[in-house]
Structure 1
Amino acid sequence: MSGQPPRWGPIRSILALSPLLIGAPLFALRQHYTLPEPLTALYNPTTKQPQLSEARILSHAKYLSEDIGYRIVGTKEHALGDEWMIQQAKELDDVCTRAKERSPERKLECEWWWQQGSGSHRFDMMNKRLYKTYVNLTNVVFRLSDGTPEGKQDAVLVNAHVDSTLPSPGAADDALPVGVMLECARVLIETDDWEPTYAIVFLFNNAEESLQDGSHLFSTQHAIANTVRAVINLEAAGTKGPELLFQATSEQMIEAYSHVPRPFGTVLANDIFSSGILLSDTDFRQFEQYLNVTGLDMAVVGNSYLYHMRKDLVENIEPGVAQHMAENTMALLQHLSSPASPLHSLASGYVKPRTVFFSHLGTFFLYSYATARVMYAGVFVASLLLALRIKGGARGVRPLARGIGAVAGGFLGALVGANVVAAVMQRVLGKGMSWFSWEPACLGLYGPAALTGALVSQYLIGHVPEHTVMTSMLLLQSFAALAIQLLGIGSAVMFFLTSAPLLLALVLDTLKITRTGDGVSLWTYALAQLTPLLTGTQIVATVLDVFVPLTGRIGGDAPGEHIIATIVAATGAYTIPMALPFMHRFGTRVSSRVVVILSVITALSMALFAMRAPFDRLHQKRMFVIHMENVTSAEQHLHIAAADAAPGFDTLVHSMAEQFDAHGKPPTSRQLSDWDSEWDVLYPFSAFLSPYMIDMPVDEQYDGEPSAAAGKFVAISTTNDVVDKEKGTRSFTLVVHHPGIIWTAVAFDAHVLKWTLDDNPPDEYARHHIKEASFYGNDRWSVDLVVKYPSPISSEIPENIKIDFVGIKEQSMWPGKKAEKQFGGSAMRTFEALDAWLDEQTVGTVDAMLIGCVGGIALL
């Protein structure tokens, strides 16, 4: 008899660990999602000092998104948003005048500009080459400085966009950040003892959703653009939770972010965004490309189901979201305008980030890559020495190899288990995306499957002592931290945060400080599991908040089911790494029983999720519908598409065809290429779509209305058309005249030698796409081209260039123009009936973007 207390069984052991297993995630989630108390008063009732008011911010957002409405570039509402923005600048200027009257000696100057200009820029996206052109777009610019030339020489730019996109009123995206900026400017001006050492430039840009035209206009044409040294870009892809720092491009700006009161961001998010995995972009691109500046990109990302949807309304913005963004933004502006600001040093260039940073339970940590390499190397060396000492030197290599195989096999098994279930749900049962309407739901479907796969994999390895598994896990994690960091990837910190506490736990266990019997103590498990639970829970929450709603807009061909299954398996393995040695603690007999239980749970979970509908009224399916009037053929069609792989879309479209097709025929399936122009107003996002087409009847009122088929909307022509037979070239100005039409797009095939879009057209015969966005009332744009012909030219008149063109009727967008539906023609009459039909048929689970377009072909 050894006299040691008997080892507890699995159930009793789990019960003993349950306070940790339940309490740590709950605590982490509470810290993760906690928002500040919203403030309503403009002034602190005790100190009488100005304060940031969420109520004021949301009133701005509500006016823009609901009183004005859908501020799509080129519409009347977009012009109204511009007028309102000018009025806000004037009011801030008045506030500034009164502040100066109160404190005449105060060093404060307020200036504002209404910028208007035209331009063009190349905008590559999704591996597609695209050119943008715009006419008379506007920005409102407001600057705070101390009034001296020195104080204006170096500035921080804070940016948000006033416009919204096609199917959305844009309360969060981006009226909320507009309100945040206005409120920060007011509070700074009214704080009598605040004086800026460095200037702050507030840019309210008017054309982000049309592919960042407003930020391009400011960056390339505004007189004070060359004073900008750093940028803070404010965005929103959701309506809930804290705003996430997802891009930081210099060490100086990461250090500046450390001064915010409620940090929320990690180098992991920065690395994911920089990798291009997320096909998303912001105005930040234009500032980087044309101003060569550093900065911070911050966005609200929780509940991104409403991103670019009709329900992006103030009523759906969570209380505290505006307060959180405003307080962090204010702290950044105060620091960057203070004497401690790094702005002056950024004038001579900035250091690209070689900084590890992360927020953990509300505390912000940052340190250099050099420090990280030392720390991670120290943990790895200590882990290696500990492993060799525990396993008896070289004699322990073989057991450790088996342990490493067990850990690696467990991770791969988790991936396989989750993805097998994903394949069954998607391809066998036809019940994909059943978890969509609640971000954590996928944990219930793929969590048991991943754990089952991890345990099944252990049968290939055989039994390995739990201590060996833990030691092998320590070696793998510490090695991963060091190796990934040596590659210059700051996200290696995620493995450091799990290996360091595991090292400590094993050291204490080896010294028998935590051990009360044979084998590994439960205290060792608790110490080793605490940090992964806290860190992993925060990672799981953030990643699922981003990626689950994202599957609703990444295209029907994307493997959304497998993406989510893989995320659950990988983040689950990170969050509960001690599950594997814990199972080896009790041998194969217990593991077999657990596998059976988990298999039953997985099967039951699949059955339950197979009965779930992916969408509901607050988590809707996105549908894209274009009513196309073809100028060339005088035909009308409905083009219908979705951007997800959820089941049921085909059935819905066939039902729609029965109701709306001119001849009651089934819809025609389409496969889009760069030579299909019907969807070019959404190019290159249209590459995500696999649309259908329905023939539409020409309604009784069509002949009497000013329709596209009557040729009254779009005219494509050339001027200055000259053919040089010797050089084999044709020079001309392409002119697009589009009264009443916005967001025009043209596409053509040619070998362009020179044009006014940029200095670097492709040196080959290629397909070219040019998209336009202009201010309301501007109905003409042009581009000069020189194209190459085959040499020699064989006829007096060379071959014509075929131009595919398309545009959106400014008065034919539902529901944005619902109040003026009588002016929208046949498209709006169709949309009114179709929208009501969709709501009835789908019980409100579909949000359709309904736009009326005209298009056709011109030979030049």
Structure 2
Amino acid sequence: MTNIIVRLSCGPECDQNAILLNAHYDTTLGSPGAADDALGVGIQMELIRVLSQQPALKRNSLIFLFNGGEESLQDASHSFITNHELKDTIKAVINLEGCGTAGPEILFQANSRPMIDAYKKVPYPHGTVIANDVFATGIILSDTDFRQFVDHGNLTGLDMAVYSNSYLYHTHLDLNQFMEHGLPQHMGENTLALVKHLGDEVDLTGKLEKTSEVVYFDVLGFFFVVYSLSTAIKLHLAIGVLGVIVLFVGASRPSIRSVVSIFLSFVAAMTAPNLVAFLLVSAGKSMVWFTHEWLPLAIFGPTSTAAMFLVQYLFHDKKASTAANEVSTFSGIQFFFSIAMGLATYTGLAGSYVVALYALCYSLALLYNQQRILALIPPSTLRKEQTQGLNLVSAIDFSTYLVASIIPSTYFFHTAYSFLDIMVPLTGRTGVDAPVDNIMALVSGICIFCSCPPILAYAHRYGLRVLKRIIAGLLIVQVFILLFATTYLQPFDKMHPKRIFAQHLRNTTSGETHVYVAHADAGPIYDNYIRGLETLFQTKAVLKSGADDHGDWNAIYPFSRFLDSYNLDTTPYIRSQTKNETIAASTNPLTDLIQDAPKLIAENVVYSPETGLRRLTVLCTHPEYILTVIDFDAQLTSWSLSSEIPSQDHFHYVIRNAGGYRTDGWRLDLEYRATGPDDKLKIEIISMETEGFDWRVEKERELVGSGEIGVMRKLVRATPDFIALTYFSTVASAYEL
């Protein structure tokens, strides 16, 4: 691991208070890494050029970290923030990331009020505390260097990333040519404004206090709103009081029937689309919505809408007029969001500002509606009915719907667009067991309900007969959409590819040589693709679940937990293709031909009968291998790693060493509970070669003496363009030390 560090400072008086900017210059296997993270690296280099030609920042220095190991579980940033001499001068961090190729970038993690306030200075703000809340749950299966700075450096800061069109993330298509024009300029201008404000204006004496009690969001990208959670509680209380006033003056007329109907409509909107998801999966058409972020709304939307209207149909009060049903339902919507606001606020959810916006606008709309209706009543009639104490709000004026929905619906569309931008491509890398069709059905249902809830009240305006026809029409539309989707739509194409992982694994212990072909989503892997590989390698593919043998894919642990793979024995292919007649006719394992395979040996082995502990030093040599991963089961009591042992019990360990070209070995001291001196540690090691992957496939390392066979070259050329292939070669061995 190599870190490159640049410091810009006004002098010794600024050196003790620094802002860290971080981007990583490594990329993952299979990807050129234009957006992830050459974009961040380029922006930092440009910031250095611009700032170094201007007067020095007045208060705080800037430290630019170009780290060389984010993709290997943030090894380089961890090393910097735990070991480098500058670490104690850093008071805040800005992390620049990318998982998409289109803008704008989003502020998706923030943990201090001063840093969030500083973000208000950027010219193109885009971020919401909802993204912070969602990312904190772990639903988004991703991680950044920001975690290392927070967990191991106790820092506060901002994590910003490009996220739109993340279909190309970690694939061979992450290229400059697919990056949206103007994206680097956009992100660069935001970052420049941010660091100039922090460097000139913000007092960083002492580390900034961490907090999650901040509400922040952008308003359609025009400006940024920030206030404390305590302020939010006061605002929400005021909105709640307004809701009581609306009820007290008679502008709102909810009933138990209408409130229950809105709640059930919300539930129905989320659950009913799962029937469509079930039909798609049953028909073998999972993920047909994957190629466009809006497509899940089209596929699941009609059923979701029909289910909401069906609830309203069932709860329509036949004894009351259509106008009375309309008023009652509209009032029920306002009551529903007021209750939702109260519950979200009570739980301390910073994202409760969204439901508060709905509650506020619907309360104001009901007051507006009351005045609008009263204005239409002749004065003589108005005085007479007021004398008799009658409730005069007997209908919903059409303009009331605009007053109620224009602000919350516009903001929701803005937020939902960003959320779908993240969620739909993400389903292509969440693992084979994730119920992605059900997840997107649920997400689509929420979007349908929240896009314009007043439509539930409007549905009562024309009576049950029209409502029944609308429901029937929506279901008919859904049938046609399903027929079209299952007949014509394909889940993947060249620019929205399916992710396939392939490794040629040679096991020196068992003598086996196999190609493993795995996928990381619930979509079809395509039988004709696997059948073609069976023909190519002259063998039968065997399906292996990730739960069957985690060790097969340890080279890319922990992502290996999400994979199912097909296993193809390459021995028949190699023997039939080699021009070496001795190898072709031999029955000896082909792995005997491997030279310089990684090896493990044990030194300093000591067993203590008094304590029952066995100590040893594991030495590994791995010439020309870039990753070595060992796994074993033991009850460890100590080791030489800097982190604490994760368990005092018997535990399964997977330890990865990120080596590279400059290191050919490593050592690890272990101590574990043993039953005796002969209770040896059973360790498996899997190592990734420096040749034989991506652009190096033409340099694929062949078995010595077997000739030019090119197992991986053949596999790469047999892969269609709608598949994004990540491929590499590995060698595995087992030892007792």
Provide TM-score, normalisation by structure 1: 0.79
Structure 1: which 5+ residue stretches go unaligned? 1-136
* Residue 140, structure 1, aligned to residue 4, structure 2: yes
The equivalent of 2:43 in structure 1 is 180
Opposite residue 605 of structure 1, the aligned amino acid is: I
Distance in 2 between residues matched to 1:515 and 1:186, nearest whole Å: 65
Among 662, 683, 699, the alignment partner of 1:820 is 699
Deviations 1:474-504 (A, max 9, x none): 1221222232122211100111122212111
The equivalent of 1:225 in structure 2 is 87
Structure 2: which 5+ residue stretches go unaligned? 318-323, 378-393
* Residue 462, structure 1, aligned to residue 347, structure 2: no
Distance in 1 between residues matched to 2:579 and 2:728, nearest whole Å: 19
Instruction: Report the more deviating stretch, 478-487 or 609-618.
Output: 478-487
The number of residue pairs the alignment matches comes to 700
Opposite residue 651 of structure 2, the aligned amino acid is: A
Q: What is the Cα deviation at residue 655 of structure 1?
A: 3.3
* Residue 482, structure 1, aligned to residue 336, structure 2: no
Among 408, 411, 424, the alignment partner of 1:535 is 411
Q: What is the Cα deviation at residue 594 of structure 1?
A: 0.3
RMSD over aligned Cα atoms: 2.1
Among 167, 192, 196, the alignment partner of 2:58 is 196
**Shift in alpha-carbon separation, 1:467–1:355, aligned structure 2, 3 A:** same
Q: What is the Cα deviation at residue 759 of structure 1?
A: 3.4
The equivalent of 1:169 in structure 2 is 32
Contact 2:515 2:567 in 1 (8 A): yes
Q: What is the Cα deviation at residue 401 of structure 1?
A: 1.3
Distance in 1 between residues matched to 2:590 and 2:53, nearest whole Å: 53
The equivalent of 1:117 in structure 2 is none
**Shift in alpha-carbon separation, 1:306–1:701, aligned structure 2, 3 A:** farther
The equivalent of 2:402 in structure 1 is 526
Corresponding residue SS for 1:230: strand
Deviations 1:641-681 (A, max 9, x none): 111111243453233223224xx32x112123485311001
Among 539, 542, 548, the alignment partner of 2:424 is 548
Distance in 1 between residues matched to 2:156 and 2:579, nearest whole Å: 55
* Residue 241, structure 1, aligned to residue 103, structure 2: yes
Distance in 1 between residues matched to 2:683 and 2:479, nearest whole Å: 55
Contact 1:634 1:709 in 2 (8 A): no
The equivalent of 1:572 in structure 2 is 448
Contact 2:513 2:590 in 1 (8 A): no
The equivalent of 2:461 in structure 1 is 585
Q: What is the Cα deviation at residue 765 of structure 1?
A: 1.5
Distance in 2 between residues matched to 1:640 and 1:351, nearest whole Å: 44
Opposite residue 499 of structure 2, the aligned amino acid is: R
Among 560, 563, 584, the alignment partner of 1:686 is 560
* Residue 857, structure 1, aligned to residue 720, structure 2: no
Provide TM-score, normalisation by structure 2: 0.91
**Shift in alpha-carbon separation, 1:516–1:691, aligned structure 2, 3 A:** farther
**Shift in alpha-carbon separation, 1:516–1:172, aligned structure 2, 3 A:** farther
Contact 2:91 2:207 in 1 (8 A): no
Opposite residue 550 of structure 1, the aligned amino acid is: L
1:768-847 equivalences under 5 Å are: 768-790=653-675, 793=676, 797-813=677-693, 815-818=694-697, 820-821=699-700, 829-839=710-720, 844-847=721-724
1:282-361 equivalences under 5 Å are: 282-338=144-200, 340-344=201-205, 347-361=206-220
Opposite residue 466 of structure 1, the aligned amino acid is: E
Distance in 1 between residues matched to 2:549 and 2:288, nearest whole Å: 35
The equivalent of 1:764 in structure 2 is 649
**Shift in alpha-carbon separation, 1:197–1:391, aligned structure 2, 3 A:** closer
Distance in 2 between residues matched to 1:514 and 1:334, nearest whole Å: 55
Distance in 2 between residues matched to 1:800 and 1:486, nearest whole Å: 55
Distance in 2 between residues matched to 1:478 and 1:799, nearest whole Å: 65
**Shift in alpha-carbon separation, 1:535–1:169, aligned structure 2, 3 A:** same
Corresponding residue SS for 1:847: strand
Q: What is the Cα deviation at residue 828 of structure 1?
A: 8.0
Opposite residue 764 of structure 1, the aligned amino acid is: D
Distance in 1 between residues matched to 2:626 and 2:703, nearest whole Å: 14
Contact 1:380 1:475 in 2 (8 A): no
**Shift in alpha-carbon separation, 1:852–1:516, aligned structure 2, 3 A:** farther
Opposite residue 121 of structure 2, the aligned amino acid is: H
**Shift in alpha-carbon separation, 1:514–1:310, aligned structure 2, 3 A:** farther
Identity score, percent: 34
Corresponding residue SS for 2:684: strand
The equivalent of 2:615 in structure 1 is 731
Q: What is the Cα deviation at residue 349 of structure 1?
A: 4.5
Deviations 1:170-206 (A, max 9, x none): 0110001000000011111112x44332010000000
Opposite residue 669 of structure 1, the aligned amino acid is: L
Distance in 1 between residues matched to 2:255 and 2:407, nearest whole Å: 24
* Residue 271, structure 1, aligned to residue 111, structure 2: no
Instruction: Report the more deviating stretch, 595-604 or 348-357.
Output: 348-357
The equivalent of 2:383 in structure 1 is none
Contact 1:718 1:733 in 2 (8 A): yes
Q: What is the Cα deviation at residue 281 of structure 1?
A: 0.7
Opposite residue 497 of structure 2, the aligned amino acid is: Q
Contact 2:92 2:207 in 1 (8 A): no
Opposite residue 318 of structure 1, the aligned amino acid is: E
Distance in 1 between residues matched to 2:376 and 2:402, nearest whole Å: 14
Distance in 2 between residues matched to 1:823 and 1:196, nearest whole Å: 59
Q: What is the Cα deviation at residue 460 of structure 1?
A: 3.2
Q: What is the Cα deviation at residue 161 of structure 1?
A: 0.1
Opposite residue 204 of structure 2, the aligned amino acid is: L
1:644-663 equivalences under 5 Å are: 644-661=521-538
Q: What is the Cα deviation at residue 416 of structure 1?
A: 2.3
The equivalent of 1:671 in structure 2 is 545
The equivalent of 1:90 in structure 2 is none
Distance in 2 between residues matched to 1:317 and 1:615, nearest whole Å: 20
1:430-449 equivalences under 5 Å are: 430-449=284-303
The equivalent of 2:388 in structure 1 is none
Opposite residue 289 of structure 1, the aligned amino acid is: D
The equivalent of 2:272 in structure 1 is 417
The equivalent of 2:624 in structure 1 is 740
Distance in 1 between residues matched to 2:88 and 2:659, nearest whole Å: 25
Opposite residue 559 of structure 2, the aligned amino acid is: F
**Shift in alpha-carbon separation, 1:676–1:271, aligned structure 2, 3 A:** closer
**Shift in alpha-carbon separation, 1:213–1:511, aligned structure 2, 3 A:** same
Distance in 2 between residues matched to 1:279 and 1:561, nearest whole Å: 17
Q: What is the Cα deviation at residue 355 of structure 1?
A: 1.4
Q: What is the Cα deviation at residue 164 of structure 1?
A: 0.4
Among 493, 501, 525, the alignment partner of 1:616 is 493
Distance in 2 between residues matched to 1:785 and 1:403, nearest whole Å: 66
The equivalent of 2:389 in structure 1 is none
Q: What is the Cα deviation at residue 439 of structure 1?
A: 0.9
Deviations 1:296-327 (A, max 9, x none): 00000000000000000000000111111101
Instruction: Report the more deviating stretch, 642-651 or 731-740.
Output: 642-651
Deviations 1:682-716 (A, max 9, x none): 11211111112111123427969996753521101
Opposite residue 343 of structure 1, the aligned amino acid is: L
Opposite residue 438 of structure 2, the aligned amino acid is: H
Corresponding residue SS for 1:156: strand
Q: What is the Cα deviation at residue 799 of structure 1?
A: 2.2
The equivalent of 2:363 in structure 1 is 503
Q: What is the Cα deviation at residue 359 of structure 1?
A: 0.4
Q: What is the Cα deviation at residue 513 of structure 1?
A: 6.6
Deviations 1:484-539 (A, max 9, x none): 12221110011112221211111111122797586111110011110122111112
Distance in 2 between residues matched to 1:538 and 1:205, nearest whole Å: 34
Distance in 2 between residues matched to 1:675 and 1:546, nearest whole Å: 31
**Shift in alpha-carbon separation, 1:708–1:371, aligned structure 2, 3 A:** farther
Corresponding residue SS for 1:691: strand
Corresponding residue SS for 1:311: coil
Distance in 1 between residues matched to 2:709 and 2:121, nearest whole Å: 51
The equivalent of 2:477 in structure 1 is 601
